[in-house]
Structure 1
């Protein structure tokens, strides 16, 4: 278990908090390429307790700015995107993607007031159908080139779902492979309540996790990517097996957005088919609302099972009350690495898995696999 002080240390993500300062050293998905059109409607988003607006100007450049206009605080979500940037609906102040104020229509002609206004602006990059944001100190690290972002020998689906709980609850789920035999018993009946043998091998990116279940010939290999991501495979009942990557994004202390990518590699007979990208977008998740089914187990539909497990712990789980066992080694490893990374940032160093060497950032592959679907070559 953790002390109250340790729990606060690991869960609070706003500006100036130890975990928040550490988590600002990473790129995080905040939207979808398909949703942010040139001179289209601005998109409101939230990351690490900061309200932001995402847009694409008339020259195709992505902008990520503080949500509230520097003039008198009106939301830029209701602004108009123009060739040079985004204009506030209240008084027409126009900002470019770097946060420079270009126009103030109500100010006297020739005024230089606009030149003294610098609106909060952050970096945004696109990859794999996602838009990633970086809101930490400069210089920004490299945006990792994970394999599923780049492969085009199959079909890629991208989407996101709202989790009404703290980021650490979702992150801990990413290293907890043992929950498959219980929480997902209805989806993996051949694994249901069979005692697994689990291994956690620490790697520079996080950990490689192996799970061997009695009666299953091949072990399942998954990868936890620090701070809160998973590169894995799924083969839930009635669904086509896939390779996947999930990003648990801390919106604020009590809300997380899980961005996900599912990749269905083509078989030999489909090699000539063109690459297909589907943007499924944001799911309509509601706090405390879950689909109930009669499945002989927990009565919760597959797509809501993880949400039920983490959200029912409360907005921020009180870890002073927990009792960890031998099967929770992954959770302990995760917390240790978070503390190490917080300490690194305090001492002016990079936390775990911050990439700055382009030689390390060619296609980053993983041997995730299970009996139903092999590793990608």
Structure 2
């Protein structure tokens, strides 16, 4: 398959697309629970996989995620009233519950008509202070058994913000281990972020490997560390989840959830098995040095015209990411403040196809090298899953009980010098529970 057709298949997520069908096969993070802080509070506008939606919390505290517009005259439900039983359109008073069923029409005397009107609604659940949504038409799988999902609140956190690019640019950055030693490392101080050991600042050309797993791909980097090797193993989980190792800080990871073909919700998850999240970690994160970037919660108009309510980074392409060319930041010679700001500057500014409004990389013009092995492997992995209904159903069956997502990354010093030897010694450390078949 040509690079151009791969671009089409992997980048597009709307109804009727192959990647859209894959994303509609898994539970996706939609909004933070804190964005709906109380029963009957203001609703939240969002967009997922190209669909305009509104989230609300009814008087019983239940969350609904439904289409953004009333069935009657297509007025925006966002400007409606959230009541005990649902959300009421302000135009003509049609009331909808969390399942999208119309319960009342204030401008229609025949009450029996209500039963005939139902707007699109998706299954929503709250786990780990996140509202998750399942956008498939069938019954959802069991919830993914991420290692952090049931930890006490003090031991985990989740944040979200918008990225002005196609989702694939984001997740591929997670699989690119060699850029850490360059983009995120200050050569004058040899300082990397606290998630890396000093070897990442010294060895700029790690030996890279990639290996398929049941749920995705291992992205592996081996760096020289004296008489041993410094091994870092990141987990890519289909369709767009990652789990990233940490030397001292809590384990991190991201999810790149498509708003549409041109915009992405970037989610960051951190967890600490030893106890509450360390204060030095919270301080580092609070300064915008890592993930999330410094952001403000506000309405944001997408390049496609839709308005969503989300966290918008302070540093964007519109202000050149507030780059300071006179001095390096804490971790990078670029002069761009934080790790995610640095990543977004690269990913949002990649050469794009003209028809994508600058948002989807023109992969036909890439010059890939050995350092891109995990990216290439992950593209092929995704393509194999979506190549047919049979292969997609096989993946759906794999994730049916949620256990496939119970994987962890690894940051370790080892005397193993090749991947097979390393995995033979450390394979069991890459799973938080029972290994999937």
The alpha-carbon distance between structure 1 residues 365 and 341, as it changes in their structure 2 partners (threshold 3 A), is closer
> Superposition pairs for residues 39-58 of structure 1, below 5 Å?
39-58=40-59
The C-alpha deviation readout for 1:212-259, integer Å capped at 9, x for no partner, is 222375322221111111111346xxxx72211211001001101111
Matched, 1:211 2:221: yes
Residues 80, 88 of structure 2: 8 Å contact kept:
yes
The one-character-per-residue Cα deviations of 1:51-85 (angstroms, maximum 9, x if unpaired) are 11111111222111000111111111112111111
Tell me the CA shift for residue 370 of structure 1. 5.1
What residue is the counterpart of 1:333 in the other structure? 377
How many Å apart are 1:267 and its aligned residue? 6.0
On the 8 A contact 1:154/1:265 being kept in 2, the answer is no
Counterpart contact for 2:385–2:391, Cα < 8 Å: no
Given the alignment, which residue of 410, 417, 430 partners 1:368? 410
Alpha-carbon distance, 1:328 to partner: 1.3
Between stretches 190-199 and 54-63, larger displacement belongs to: 190-199
Structure 1 segment 1-377 matched on structure 2, within 5 A = 2-36=2-36, 37-108=38-109, 110-152=110-152, 155-186=155-186, 188=192, 190-192=199-201, 194-215=204-225, 217-234=229-246, 241-266=249-274, 283-285=311-313, 287-288=316-317, 289=319, 290-293=321-324, 294-295=327-328, 297-302=333-338, 303-313=340-350, 314=352, 315-345=359-389, 349-351=393-395, 355-357=399-401, 360=403, 364-369=406-411
SS in 2 for 1:40: coil
Q: Which of structures 1 and 2 has the larger relative contact order (alpha carbons within 8 angstroms, sep 6+)?
A: 1
The answer to whether the 8 Å contact 2:22/2:239 transfers is: no
The equivalent residue for 1:274 is none
After superposing the two structures, state which structure 1 stretch, 22-31 or 208-217, moved more. 208-217
Post-superposition CA distance 1:156-178 (Å, at most 9, x none):
22211211000111121122222
Q: CA deviation at 1:367?
A: 4.3
Displacement after TM superposition at 1:190 (Å):
4.6
Could you say what the CA RMSD is over the residues aligned between the two structures, in angstroms? Answer: 2.8
Contact in 1 for aligned 2:407/2:430 (Cα 8 Å): no
User: Normalization by structure 2: what TM-score?
Assistant: 0.75
5+ unaligned residues in a row in structure 1: which ranges? Answer: 271-277
What secondary structure sits across from 2:126 in the alignment?
A: strand
Aligned to 2:171, the other structure's residue is in SS state helix
Matched pairs, number: 360
8 Å Cα contact 1:74-1:88 kept in structure 2: yes
Tell me how far 1:357 sits from its aligned partner. Answer: 2.7
Q: 1:59 to 1:206 in 2, by over 3 A?
A: same
TM-score normalised over the length of structure 1: 0.86
Tell me the SS of whatever aligns to 1:324: coil
Shift of 1:365: 4.2
Deviations 1:2-26 (A, max 9, x none): 5323211211111112221222112
**Runs of 4+ in structure 1 displaced over 4 angstroms?**
278-282, 374-377
Whole-Å separation in 1 of the counterparts to 2:154 and 2:204: 33
**Unaligned stretches of 5+ in structure 2?**
193-197, 279-285, 287-291, 298-309, 353-358, 414-428, 433-437
Contact 1:337 1:352 in 2 (8 A): no
- Contact 1:57/1:85, CA 8 A, preserved across alignment: yes
